[in-house]
Amino acid sequence: MDLINDRQAGVTEVLEREQSVEPAEETRLQGDWYVVHTYSGYENKIKVDLSKRVESMNMQDKIFEVIIPEEQEVEYKNGKRKVTNKRIFPGYVIVNMIMDDDSWYVVRHTPGVTGFVGSGSKPIPLHQEEIDKIRRQMGLMEKKTMIIDIEIGESIRVKTGPFANFEGVVRELLPEKGKIRVNISMFGRETPVELDYEQIEKI
């Protein structure tokens, strides 16, 4: 009998520990992601201003995170590499929050915000797979957009590496690898080689 009572007491203790999870952590798991329309070009300012409003109005238990979806864009010009962050959705920010009248008011009345994306006046949250896709696109930065100012058939000179000072003709662009395929004249014959964009310059 004592053994049964001890087991029941143990179960009760475990349940009490599980129910004593911090309220903020429970709340954070309940938040949905909403798309908020803003004035284009003001996304960063709105993110800062909204974060300040959340803190000053003690809404941390209902509004958790504001993100500006961006991805890296890699541009090659005259053999030089330039990396910039490009907005995936210009004029929008995404907010993780529990939607009610109070949280809606805080977000909606942040200067520069023009409204929530949804049906009529009712904001509609993103599906989890949608936000996962956006986070992969902006967070991992694995997928980069390549922009180069060179075309197939153009003549180039190699600046660095074992083929430095050789000249060749561009035969193929390989943006997913950050490379180009070039035919270089060596010993009276054309030799195909792959080069990084940074290694070449247009003639």
Residue 114: pLDDT above 90?
Answer: yes
Mean pLDDT estimate for the chain: 79
> Rounded to two decimals, what is the model's pTM?
0.55
CB distance 168 to 158 below 8 Å: yes
Q: How far is CA 184 from the centre of its chain?
A: 39
Residue 4: pLDDT above 70?
Answer: no
Domains and CATH numbers, the chain: 29-147 (3.30.70.940), 150-202 (2.30.30.30)
pLDDT tens by residue, 47-64: 999 999 999 999 999 999
Question: What are residue 173's phi and psi, to 5 degrees?
Answer: -100, 135
CB atoms within 10 A of CB 68: 18
